Structure formats: structure tokens, C-alpha cells
């Protein structure tokens, strides 16, 4: 399909991805993320933020190269927790990458839509210790302003003066993808012309980490952390926790073309459903994750045979990976066996609510640069996971249409469809 440069497609406003900003364990910003993908190495190591000895899992992917003062005034950085810093820094990187002059924007027409599963929970945990040991007067007064998930989108809006639609959803591990999907709809429906959208997560604190260890959701491959996150592999034994954030600049297509912006990809479809089944286990027949993909394809007005790449949720858990494989097969039919698939969490681990945003950034970069990242640590595919998972070398190929899947606790399913800006 040839895609023109008109501002509408079948009478609907089109949406371009013109900027990418991110904080991940494998790199910062669009170029840092891309360089990290090309290295084909995992950033998962033994956790250093606290002593994990009392837990089953001892590993995480930490974004240790991040320095908040590189992206905001020191005074401003001190008034934000790490979760807020990630949000503001990723937004700044995305705006810079898009070469957008903030002063030239109509602030009322700029939306900020983010996602986060846990918000400022790490700061809350830290300050609870202060409260217990020293009493309420010793607690950081900024706690009340930092702990709620909405601090992500609100701090971005405050930093840049954006006054359009603002929301941070808390829909578990699908949050980032849902934030992007909501922003996509706001622009398509004419409520905004530009949006900053994505997700942020900083969950690496003992209580949060331990809670997931307690329900035996995380890998215990502690002797070899770099191979612990292994989506679709027969020997996978749970996810690995990470921290990170990603923000995309979305623009109405005609606006982006008029200013001669570099366009990574076009977002053309979004679908979301709920299993209505269980808080941790996916619906065994994958019917609702399938429906999320089908809704996204229908929204994009794209046929299954046009899809060439799927960036899978690929959490490296026994149930998720096999159920997602069922969903891809059901949604794409026979085409599923001819579509390249990769699960990229082996690189930067599972950053919960930020994962879908990071993976949307990866989809956009992969389309723009005609290279698909591999599924790290896939030594022997599970017999139930029998699709064309890209091996450790990656794959050079042009992609016209791609799908990014994000699934979360509570049975949340989300899918985004991207296409090349030809």
C-alpha cells in the first residue's frame, strides 16, 4: 500500500511519530536506545539498589547512566522523585528529538497522556521508613505530590506549560501502550494537534520488588542474570523487573509534513480489551488478547496479511508467552507463521507500565531504520511458541506495517498498529 502525504486517510486525521525520548537500562534517548539494541546484549544484572538476598529473585535492569541534571535544573530535579525525573527527562528528549519549539506550540492543543503501574511507590516506601523511625514531621512534604501516578503527566505539563488533555492511566503493564493509544485518539478526533505520550516506571524498591517475588512471578536464574529474561524460550521461569520510561511526540500528519519534520512511523490503529478472568493469569483461550489485536487492525483498516512484524509483549513467563502466541495466531491466521516476531524485554527487562511505551519506540525505530531487533536468550523455543521469533542476530528488512502488543495484570490487553511513512 502506498501512503501519501495528505493530512487525512479515508477522511480521518493521521498521526505521525516525530520524536522519541527514553530512559532505559540499555541507553538514553532515541539514539541511545537504538545503539543498545544493536549491541544485542542484556542489561540485566544483580540488583544494586538494595540487598535482594531475602527474595527468590536477585536481578533487575537498572538505568544507572541516568543523571537528572542533564535534563532539568538541579533545583527542579530535587523536587521530583525518580519516577517524575524519568517522565520529565523523557519528554524533554522527545521534544528535542522532534525539533519542536515549545514556545511556538498552542499549549491548549498539546495533550500529555502517560501510563504507570506503580507511580511514585519507591519514594512512598522510602518515606514510610522515615515515618516509622522519626515520626511524621520528618517525612518529605513532597511525598503527597509525587506518589500518585498522575504526577507523571502533570509534571510534564508543568515543565513545558502544556494545557491540553492530561492523564496518566494505571492499567498495569499495558499502561504505556494505552497512554499512546489515548493520545492517538485525541489527535485523530481533533481534540489535540500534538501529544506527548508514553509511560514511566521506577519500581526498584524492596517492598515493590518483593511483592512480585512473593507471588513467584519473577525469574530465579540468579547465577546468570543476563540470560534470565528469555521470552518464548522453553526454559523461561518468570519475568525480570526493570525501570525505565519512554515518551513519543505524536503530531497531526499535515502539521508534521508542513514543518518538514522527520517522521519515524505513523500510528494508525489502537485496540484494548479486558479478559475479565483473573488478576495474574491470562485467559487461557487468548480470546480477549486476540480481540485487542483485531480491534487495532480494524481501527487501522489493515488486513492481517499486511502485517510484517510483531513486537510481542513477551514477558518471559510460562503462561503469558504461550497465550500471546495463541493470540497472534488467532488474530493473523495463516499469516502468523510468516510474520517476524521479537520480544525485546531480554534487553531491558520488564519495566511494567513503561514497557509498552518503550516497545512502541522500538517499533517506530525499527520501521524507520529497516532492522528488527532479536529475541535475546531464545536458545530453544517452547513447543507451544512456534512462530518466527527473530534470533540473536536481528533481521534487516523493510516493514510496512507492525503491531506492538502489551498485556498486563488484571487481564488488560492493548495493541498498537504502526506503518511506514512512505
Is 173 a catalytic site residue?
yes
Beta strand 244-252 with 27-28: parallel, antiparallel or unpaired?
Answer: unpaired
* The residue to which cell 525518580 is assigned: 82
Task: Give the distance between the most distant pair of CA atoms in the chain.
Answer: 65
Q: Which residue's C-alpha cell is 521534544?
A: 95
β-bridge partners, 270 = 416
Cβ contact 261:98 at 8 Å: yes
154, 350, 363, 385: the active-site residue: 350
Assigned C-alpha cell, 169: 492511566
CA Rg, the chain, in Å?
20
Scored b (16 or more CB within 10 A) or e, 140-167 reads eebbebbbebebbbbbbbebbebebbbb
The rounded distance, in Å, linking the Cα atoms of 348 and 94 is 19
- Could you tell me if residue 99 is left (phi over 0), alpha (psi between -120 and 50 degrees) or otherwise beta? left
Q: Which residue has the cell 542476530?
A: 393
User: Residue 389 forms beta bridges with which residues?
Assistant: 341
Active-site hit among 58, 268, 313, 363: 313
Residue located via cell numbers 526498584: 204
Q: What does residue 238 show for φ and ψ, rounded to 5 degrees?
A: 140, 165
Annotated catalytic residue within 22, 173, 202, 268: 173
Give dist(CA 96, CA 84) in Å, integer: 18
Catalytic (active site) residue 128: no
Candidates 337, 326, 328, 343; CA nearest to 293 is 328
Residues 6+ apart with CB under 8 A from 236: 219, 230, 316, 317, 318, 321, 382
User: 363 an active-site residue?
Assistant: no
Grid cell in block for residue 205:
524498591
- The whole-angstrom separation of Cα 392 and Cα 191 is 42
> How many angstroms separate the Cα of 89 from the Cα of each of 94, 197, 263, 268, 288?
9, 13, 21, 27, 35
Residues 219 and 238: beta-carbon distance below 8 Å: yes
* Distance, CA of 364 to CA of 337 (rounded, Å): 22
Residues involved in catalysis? 173, 313, 350
Amino acid at each position: 500500500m502506498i501512503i501519501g502525504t495528505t493530512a487525512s486517510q479515508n477522511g480521518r486525521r493521521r498521526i505521525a511519530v516525530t520524536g522519541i525520548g527514553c530512559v532505559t537500562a540499555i541507553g538514553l534517548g532515541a539514539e541511545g536506545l537504538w545503539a543498545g539494541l544493536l549491541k544485542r546484549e542484556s542489561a540485566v544484572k544483580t540488583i544494586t539498589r538494595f540487598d535482594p538476598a531475602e527474595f527468590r529473585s536477585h536481578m533487575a535492569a537498572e538505568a544507572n547512566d541516568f543523571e537528572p541534571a542533564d535534563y532539568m535544573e538541579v533545583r527542579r530535579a530535587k523536587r521530583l522523585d525518580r519516577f517524575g525525573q524519568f517522565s520529565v527527562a523523557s519528554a524533554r528528549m522527545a521534544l528535542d528529538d522532534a525539533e519542536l519549539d515549545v514556545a511556538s506550540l498552542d499549549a491548549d492543543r498539546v495533550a500529555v497522556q502517560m501510563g504507570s503501574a506503580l507511580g511514585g511507590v519507591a519514594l512512598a516506601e522510602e518515606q514510610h521508613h522515615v515515618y516509622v523511625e522519626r515520626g511524621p514531621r520528618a517525612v518529605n512534604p513532597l511525598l503527597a505530590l509525587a506518589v500518585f501516578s498522575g504526577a507523571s503527566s502533570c509534571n510534564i505539563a508543568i515543565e513545558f506549560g502544556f494545557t491540553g488533555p492530561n492523564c496518566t492511566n494505571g492499567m498495569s503493564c499495558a499502561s504505556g501502550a494505552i497512554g499512546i493509544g489515548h493520545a492517538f485518539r485525541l489527535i485523530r478526533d481533533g481534540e489535540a494537534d500534538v501529544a506527548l505520550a508514553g509511560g514511566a516506571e521506577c519500581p526498584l524498591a524492596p517492598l515493590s520488588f518483593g511483592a512480585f517475588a512473593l507471588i513467584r512471578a519473577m525469574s530465579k536464574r540468579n547465577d546468570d542474570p543476563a540470560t534470565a529474561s528469555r521470552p518464548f524460550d522453553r526454559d523461561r521461569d518468570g519475568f525480570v523487573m526493570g525501570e525505565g520510561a519512554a515518551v513519543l511526540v505524536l503530531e497531526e500528519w499535515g502539521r508534521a509534513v508542513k514543518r518538514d519534520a522527520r517522521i519515524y512511523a505513523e500510528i494508525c490503529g489502537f485496540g484494548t480489551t479486558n479478559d475479565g478472568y483473573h488478576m495474574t493469569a491470562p485467559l487461557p483461550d487468548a480470546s480477549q488478547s486476540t480481540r485487542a489485536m483485531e480491534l487495532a487492525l480494524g481501527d487501522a483498516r489493515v488486513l492481517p496479511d499486511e502485517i510484517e512484524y510483531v513486537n510481542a509483549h513477551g514477558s518471559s513467563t510460562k503462561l503469558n508467552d504461550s497465550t500471546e502466541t495463541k493470540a497472534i495466531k488467532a488474530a493473523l491466521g495463516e499469516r502468523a507463521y510468516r510474520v517476524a516476531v521479537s520480544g525485546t524485554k531480554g534487553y531491558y527487562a520488564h519495566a511494567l507500565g513503561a514497557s509498552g511505551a518503550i516497545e512502541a519506540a522500538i517499533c517506530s525505530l525499527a520501521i524507520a531504520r529497516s532492522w528488527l531487533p532479536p529475541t535475546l536468550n531464545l536458545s530453544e523455543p517452547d513447543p507451544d511458541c512456534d512462530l518466527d521469533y527473530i534470533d540473536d542476530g536481528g533481521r534487516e528488512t523493510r516493514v510496512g506495517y507492525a503491531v506492538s502488543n502489551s498485556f498486563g495484570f488484571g487481564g488488560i490487553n492493548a495493541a498498537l498498529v504502526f506503518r511506514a511513512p512512505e
